[in-house]
Copies of this chain bind each other. A is one copy, B any other.
Amino acid sequence: MAKEKKLVEAITPMDKDFAQWYTDVVTKAELISYSNVRGCMIIRPRGYAIWENIQKQLDARFKETGVDNVYLPMLIPESLLQKEKDHVEGFAPEVAWVTHGGEEQLSERLCIRPTSETLFCDHVKDIVHSYRDLPVVYNQWCSVLRWEKTTRPFLRSSEFLWQEGHTFHATAEEAKERTEQMLNVYADFCENVLAIPLVKGKKTDKEKFAGAEATYTIEALMHDCKALQSGTSHNFGNGFAKAFGIEYTNKENKLSPVYETSWGMSTRIIGAIIMVHGDDSGLVLPPRIAPVQTMIIPIQQKKEGVLDKAFEIRDMLKSNFSVKVDDSDKSPGWKFSEQEIQGIPTRIEIGPKDIEKGQAVIVRRDTREKIVTPIEKIEETLAEVLETMQNDMYNKAKAHLEKNTHIAHNWEEFNDILENQQGFIRAMWCGERECEEAIKDENGATTRCIPFVQAKHSDVCVHCGKPAKCEVYFGKAY
């Protein structure tokens, strides 16, 4: 038991030090390992398997909306990066520059892509000539690099994995529709697969993507009441198209600019899964994204028939669930701890007494509830348990989000909430950048989004008292 205790104790309690809890979980659950390359993480098998599931499910959703996958170069010539003014200002300070190829110094520096709008524009200019060539609806799965000063696994690393969608349309309206459509794909995926409830809205001009006309976002609330931007979708209008000279001949045989969007979700979302659902025993993975949905743990496995029964149950389950048997020579208690740290949604305990009674015990990771089931009904029962768990996890997170979303009618309330309760603060805002910056300087709260569903709490801005333009979600964020 000493060893088992040690394994569990290795995780710092959330309430004691949330940042340390997070670090403990990502390392002890073996999701990542730190590398000797500045700001870059190693995504280990258990972490990468989550990303593979995310990729698989998101990719299927993308393809349903007509997305084609492509692959563009990882390097961008400096002159190309500079074509769109706002974009280069936003990204140039944080890119890595390649200056030498082999022994030879390059005549032009190349940066490792921090994002690929410029490359996609450069390519689309070559392939789009007529309205018949539109829309172009592309996506790329790749890694990108942004030179970060302080890094944290998944949440902020110099290199990260993501998908970046880039689409090109004949009309501004179509581009707007695509931007919204993809935000909804992200939102649906987060809520239904990752069990993460969201606030959906538009970024302020200050917070929008470098070069975009409008950025839409989904914002989630972590266990520590900080916000995490979980996916974004940008409408570029025809700004990039004009900078890159992308024109097409329309049905009236006239040259028109194209309208562009881009949208991305990254390995950062794994950080959200951890911080929304995790607990003091480790990771808790929603059943629909868990690489392993149930771990069968034999009790007294050396007794005749126990292991056989464990594998028999595995075989009953394997066509419909992702299932493993832990037949290592560790003690059951140790195995329980490992399954819990790793966040495997359920375990199935099966020992000699259970076999005698023709039953097995399913234990939920989130509530630790034990469900006794006849072995012959185990498929049905497990399906029910996982389905219930998925819904309960969403509802629990939703309740947390609601409980920690507050309305501030005035600046005093705003500061009071920020100091004593945290979470999202809904308040009216004047729409001015200076005011937004002053709020951030004063107490560190940033605008998370202008929610699509607007409410009115006052006629004036919560901070400066000027006439209010809209309701905004404020918060401290990762």
**Interface residues of A, Cβ cutoff 8 Å to B:** 33, 35-38, 40-45, 48-49, 51-52, 68-77, 80, 92-104, 109-110, 112, 119, 122-123, 126-127, 138, 142-143, 145, 147, 158-159, 161
Contacts and interface: CB of A to CB of B under 8 A. Distances in A.
Contact of A110 (B37, B49, B93, B103): B37
**A-B CB proximity, top 3 nearest:** A40-B73, A45-B68, A101-B147
Contacts of A93: 102-103
Given A36-B80, A42-B72, A159-B74, A97 B95 contact: no
A103 B119 CA distance: 22
Contacts of A99: 97-100
A35 B77 CA distance: 11
Contacts of A49: 68-69
Contacts of A109: 100
A146 to B, nearest CB: 9
Contacts of A73: 35, 37, 40-42, 159
A36 B110 CA distance: 11
A35 B122 contact: yes
A52 B69 CA distance: 9
A78 to B, nearest CB: 11
B97 A69 contact: no
Contacts of A44: 70
A75 B33 contact: no
Nearest to A71: B43
Contacts of A122: 35-36
Given A37-B77, A99-B99, A147-B102, A123 B42 contact: yes
Nearest to A97: B100
